[in-house]
Structure 1
Amino acid sequence: MNSIFYRVFSRYAFIILILSVVIFLFSFTIIRTNHINTLSSSLENLAISLEDRVLELIRQKDYSQLDAFVKEKGKHINARITVIRKDGVVLADSEADPAVMENHRDRPEIMESITGRIGRSVRFSTTVQTEMLYIAMPLLQNSDITAVLRLSLFLEDINTLLATLRNRFLMITLIFIAVAMVLAFYFARDLSKPIKELVSTSRRIAEETLDITYQDNPQNEITFLANNFDEMAAQITRLFAKTNRQKEELRAVISAIQEAVVVLNPEGKISLYNNSFASLAKRNNLKHVPIEDVLPDKFTTLLRHVNQENRYYTREIELDGQIYLCSLNCLKTRKEIVVLLHNVTELKNLRQMKRDFIANVSHELRTPLTSIKGFIETLLEDENPETTRYLNIIKRNTDRLIHIVEDLLILSEMEKRDFTLKIDTLNPVHLIENVSSIFKQKMEAKGLELILNLPDHLPSLEADEFKLEQLFVNLIDNAVKYTETGSITISARADETSIYFSIADTGIGIPEDDLNRIFERFYVVDKSRSRRVGGTGLGLSIVKHIVLLHQGYISVNSEKKKGTEFLITLPLRHTTLLT
C-alpha cells in the first residue's frame, strides 16, 4: 500500500505520536521539578524562622531543650527537623533519638551547607526508610559555622500527587492524539482525492488526450491547475519547437566557422564538431569517436594537461605540416572541453620571414660595422683635435649600431622554434654577485650604492646560466644608466616552487603611460636620453624573452622621479613546455 493517502496519513500520525510522547514526558518532568523547587523554598523560609531559637539553645548548650523544641515544631509544621553539629554529630531530631543516630557529616546536603551555602538533596533516608527532600542551612556564630539546621519532607505525598497529575495528563494526551488522528485522516483524504484526479488527468495528457472536462469540483486551486494542463501541453510543444530552431541555428553558426571547432565530453570523446574539423580530420561520422583516434599524441598530452589544471589553455601544435593555434577551454558546469583550432601557418611563415630578414640583415651589417669601427679606431690615433671630435661621434654611433645588431641577433636566435635552453643547476646568489661586480666601477664613478638583499640559503635554480646573466646584465645596466643619485637594490627570496627577484633603483622612473610598452622592440621612453646613454630599445625585449623561455613572469612598478622596480618570478624546476 503506497498511496498518497497512506503516505500522508502515516507521516502525520508518526509526527503526532512523537510530539505527544515528548510533550508528555517533558511536561511531567517540569511539573515535578517545579513542585519540588516550591517545597524547597518553603523549607528554606521555615528554617530561617527557626534559626534564632535554635542558635540560642546551642549557645546555652541546652541540648535536651533543643531536642524538645524541634520535636514540638516538627509536629506543627509537618516536617522533620534535625540539628547537626559542624563535625556531623546530631544534636536534636524531631523524628528520632539523636543519641542513637549516626554521624551525618557525609550527607550531601550537610557537606554543602558546611561550605556556607544552603544544601539541597533528594534521596533515600536510612533513618526513616523512605525517600525525602532535604534542605540544610548553616547556623553562624561570630561569622563561623557552628551547626547545621536541616528540614526535610517525605516525598510519598508528593509522589502521590504527581501520580494523580500524571494520570490526568496522560488521559488528556490520549484524547489529543485521538482527535489529531481523526483530523489527520480527513486532511490526508481531502488532499489525496484531488491529487488522484490530477494523476488520472496527467495520464490522459501523456496519451495526447487533451480534451479534458471536469464536473463541479470544490477544490478551486486544483481545478485551476488541471484546466491549465491544456495550455501547458501547448506551451511545451512551442518550447520544444523553439529549442529545436535555436539548436539548428547554433549548428549552422558552428558549421559556418572557418576554424575547426570540436567539443569533447568528460570521457574525451567527440560530442560536437563542425565541417572544418571534419575536413581537418579527413573523415566524417566523428561523434562519440575518441579524440586520440583523430589527433596526434601531442594533442592528447595537451588535453591531459588541461584536465589536470581545469583552466583555459593555448598552445601551438603541428598537424600534417600545418601549424595550428589550439585553444582549449573547460566548461566547468558540464565538464566538457571546447577546442578551437586556428590555422596560423601563413602568419608563422610571415613572422619567420621577418625574423630571417632581420637575422640576415644583422649578419650582413655586423661585418662592415666592425670594419668601420676598426678604421675609426686607427684614425683616432691621429691627434688632430678637430678630426678626433668627429671621429668620436662616428665611433659612438657605430658602437650603438653594433649593439643594435647584436641584440637583434640575440632576439632572432631566441625566437627560433628549435631554440632550446642549456639547463644547469646553479646558485642564484653567486650568479647575482658575479653580474653585479661587472658594474662596480660604473656605479662608483656615479656615486651609486649597490645593496644586495640575498638570503644565505636560497635554493638552487634550474636555468640557462648564460641567459640569466644576460637578463641581469640588461636590467642592472638600465638601472645604472637611468639613475644619477641614490642606490640600486637587488633582492631575492624563494618558496617551495619559485624564486623571486627584484631589481630596484632610485632613478628617473617611467611614466605610467609608457609602462605597458616598455617590453616592445625599439620602444624608448626618452629618445634623446637613450641616444645619449647608448640605449638600443631592445634590452627589455630580450629580458622578457628570457623570462618566458624559463616559464617565468616579469612585471614592473615605477613612479616618475622616484625610481623603478622590476619583479621577476622563475620556477625552481624547469619543465618542458607543451608546443
Structure 2
Amino acid sequence: MKLKRFFWRSLLSLWSIPLIILVAVALVTIRKEKTVEIKRELDELQELALTLTAEIRSFPELNNKDLGELLMTQARLSRIRVTLIEVTGQVTFDSEKEAAGLESHRYRPEIYQALSGQIGSSSRYSDTLKKVMFYVAVPVRRGSQIIGACRVSRDLDLATMAYRSTLKYFLTVFGLALILSWALIYFYLRKLFKPLNELLSIISQAETSGEQVVVRASLLKKLGELAGGVSQLISQKEELASHLREEQEILAGLFEETGEGWLLLDNEGKIILANETLRKMFPDLDLKQEFYWQAFLWPELNALIDQVKEKLKPVSSQIERQGRFFSCSVSWLAGSVS
C-alpha cells in the first residue's frame, strides 16, 4: 500500500514537469503568435489605406460621388470599413454608415495622428458599429498640404480569424503532446516499479509463509544490491525460524517428560506452545485458536494470568473442571506467560 502511494506521488510529480514546460511554451507561443497576427493585420490595413490614398488624390474633392463608389467597391472586396475624413474632422464618406449622420472624427486617436502627418493605428470599441475594431488611418496629401485622412478598419473577430484557427490547432497539439508525455511517463514508471512490487511481494510472502522463499536471478540483476540484501535477510529469517522450531521441539520434549500440562503464551496472550499432556488432560479444548481466551473459556485462568501480568510474580491456585481439581501455576517469563 505504501509503495502504491509512493508510485502515485512520484507519477504526479513527474506529470507536473511536462505540464509546466508545455504550459510555459504555450503561453510564450500564443503571445508571440498574437503579436505577429496583430502586426500582420495592421500592415495589411496600412497597405490598403496607402493604396486608397493614391486613388483619392486623383479626385478633385473628397466628397466626389465617383470616389465614393470606388471606395465602396474596395471596401466590399477587401471586407473592410473605409472612412474618409476632411481636415476639419467632418466625415465625407463611410462604407458602413451615412456620412452626414456621423459626428466629427478629428479627435479619434488614429485620425488625430493622420491629420498630424503620421500613420495612426488603434484597436478599440466602435461606438458606431458596437464592436471592437482594428483601425489604421493615413494622411491624404495634395502636394505638401494635408487635406484629410483615409481610415480603414476591420472587425476584430474577422481580423483574428486566422489567429483563432492557429490557436485551436496549437491547443490540440498541446493536448496531444501532454497526453502522450503522461502516458510515456506512466508506463516507464510502472516498468521501474515492477521489480520493486515483486520484491515487496517476496518480503510479504517471507513474513507470512513458513516455506522457503527464493529471489529470482533476474530480479537480483535488476535491483542489484537491494535485492541481494533482501535475499540475505530472508535467508537469515528462515534460518532463525528453523532454529526456533528446533528449540520449540526440544522445549516441548522437555515439557512432555515432566508429565504435566504446559501452556506457553506471549505477552499479547497468543498461544506459542501447548504440550501433548495438556491436550490429553482437556480434550475438549480447541488449542488451534490464536489466543488463550478463545481456547480456555475459564474465568479462573483469566484471573490468574491477569494477576501475573500485574505482579510479575508466580501465582498458584486450584481450578475445578468437571468435578476434578487441578493445581495451576502461572509464571512470568520476561515477555511471556507460562
- How high is the TM-score relative to the length of structure 2? 0.53
CA 1:75–1:213 in 2, change beyond 3 Å: closer, same or farther? closer
**In the TM superposition, what are the counterparts of 1:24-39 in structure 2 within 5 Å?**
24-39=26-41
* Contact 1:122-1:131 within 8 A present in 2 as well: yes
Residue-by-residue CA offset, 1:366-399 (whole Å, 9 max, x unaligned): xxxxxxxxxxxxxxxxxxxxxxxxxxxxxxxxxx
Task: Please state if 1:172 is matched with 2:158.
Answer: no
Question: In structure 1, how many angstroms separate the alpha carbons of the residues matched to 2:137 and 2:63?
Answer: 21
Residue-by-residue CA offset, 1:151-201 (whole Å, 9 max, x unaligned): 11123334555444444433333322222211111222233456678999x
* Contact 2:37-2:163 within 8 A present in 1 as well: no
Paired residue for 1:182? 183
Paired residue for 1:433? none
Question: In structure 2, how many angstroms separate the alpha carbons of the residues matched to 1:111 and 1:42?
Answer: 21
**In the TM superposition, what are the counterparts of 1:159-238 in structure 2 within 5 Å?**
159-193=160-194, 215-217=217-219, 222-223=223-224, 226=226
Paired residue for 2:11? 9
- How high is the TM-score relative to the length of structure 1? 0.33
Deviation, structure 1 residue 144? 4.1
Secondary structure class of the residue paired with 1:21: helix
Deviation, structure 1 residue 214? 6.0
Deviation, structure 1 residue 123? 1.9
Task: Please state if 1:148 is matched with 2:149.
Answer: yes
Secondary structure class of the residue paired with 1:56: coil
% of aligned pairs identical? 26
Residue-by-residue CA offset, 1:33-68 (whole Å, 9 max, x unaligned): 3233222222222222222221232x5455444333
CA 1:142–1:162 in 2, change beyond 3 Å: closer, same or farther? closer
What is the identity, as a one-letter code, of the residue corresponding to 1:184?
Answer: I
Deviation, structure 1 residue 31? 3.1
CA 1:127–1:18 in 2, change beyond 3 Å: closer, same or farther? same
Residue-by-residue CA offset, 1:246-287 (whole Å, 9 max, x unaligned): xxxxxxxxxxxxxxxxxxxxxxxxxxxxxxxxxxxxxxxxxx
Paired residue for 1:76? 77
Indicate the RMSD between aligned Cα atoms, in angstroms: 3.6
Paired residue for 2:87? 86
* Contact 1:122-1:132 within 8 A present in 2 as well: yes
Secondary structure class of the residue paired with 1:216: helix
* Contact 1:66-1:92 within 8 A present in 2 as well: no
Question: In structure 2, how many angstroms separate the alpha carbons of the residues matched to 1:165 and 1:88?
Answer: 39
Q: Unmatched 5+ residue regions in structure 1? A: 201-211, 230-579
* Contact 2:62-2:84 within 8 A present in 1 as well: no
Question: In structure 1, how many angstroms separate the alpha carbons of the residues matched to 2:147 and 2:127?
Answer: 25
Paired residue for 2:131? 130
CA 1:199–1:81 in 2, change beyond 3 Å: closer, same or farther? same
CA 1:147–1:6 in 2, change beyond 3 Å: closer, same or farther? same
What is the identity, as a one-letter code, of the residue corresponding to 1:87?
Answer: T
Question: In structure 2, how many angstroms separate the alpha carbons of the residues matched to 1:164 and 1:134?
Answer: 22
Question: In structure 2, how many angstroms separate the alpha carbons of the residues matched to 1:130 and 1:55?
Answer: 31
CA 1:118–1:216 in 2, change beyond 3 Å: closer, same or farther? same
Secondary structure class of the residue paired with 2:140: strand
Deviation, structure 1 residue 10? 0.9
* Contact 1:72-1:94 within 8 A present in 2 as well: no
Q: Unmatched 5+ residue regions in structure 2? A: 202-213, 230-338
CA 1:4–1:191 in 2, change beyond 3 Å: closer, same or farther? farther
Paired residue for 2:55? 53
Question: In structure 2, how many angstroms separate the alpha carbons of the residues matched to 1:158 and 1:60?
Answer: 31
Deviation, structure 1 residue 227? 8.8
Question: In structure 1, how many angstroms separate the alpha carbons of the residues matched to 2:103 and 2:36?
Answer: 32
Question: In structure 2, how many angstroms separate the alpha carbons of the residues matched to 1:219 and 1:23?
Answer: 40
CA 1:31–1:218 in 2, change beyond 3 Å: closer, same or farther? farther
Paired residue for 2:68? 67
* Contact 1:63-1:92 within 8 A present in 2 as well: no
**Would you say how many aligned residue pairs link Structure 1 and Structure 2?**
217
What is the identity, as a one-letter code, of the residue corresponding to 1:54?
Answer: I
* Contact 1:198-1:226 within 8 A present in 2 as well: no
Paired residue for 2:281? none
Secondary structure class of the residue paired with 2:217: coil
CA 1:62–1:186 in 2, change beyond 3 Å: closer, same or farther? closer
CA 1:140–1:29 in 2, change beyond 3 Å: closer, same or farther? same
Residue-by-residue CA offset, 1:294-344 (whole Å, 9 max, x unaligned): xxxxxxxxxxxxxxxxxxxxxxxxxxxxxxxxxxxxxxxxxxxxxxxxxxx
* Contact 2:138-2:151 within 8 A present in 1 as well: yes
* Contact 1:123-1:133 within 8 A present in 2 as well: yes
What is the identity, as a one-letter code, of the residue corresponding to 2:43?
Answer: S
CA 1:46–1:195 in 2, change beyond 3 Å: closer, same or farther? same
**In the TM superposition, what are the counterparts of 1:252-263 in structure 2 within 5 Å?**
none
Question: In structure 1, how many angstroms separate the alpha carbons of the residues matched to 2:111 and 2:221?
Answer: 70
Deviation, structure 1 residue 150? 0.9
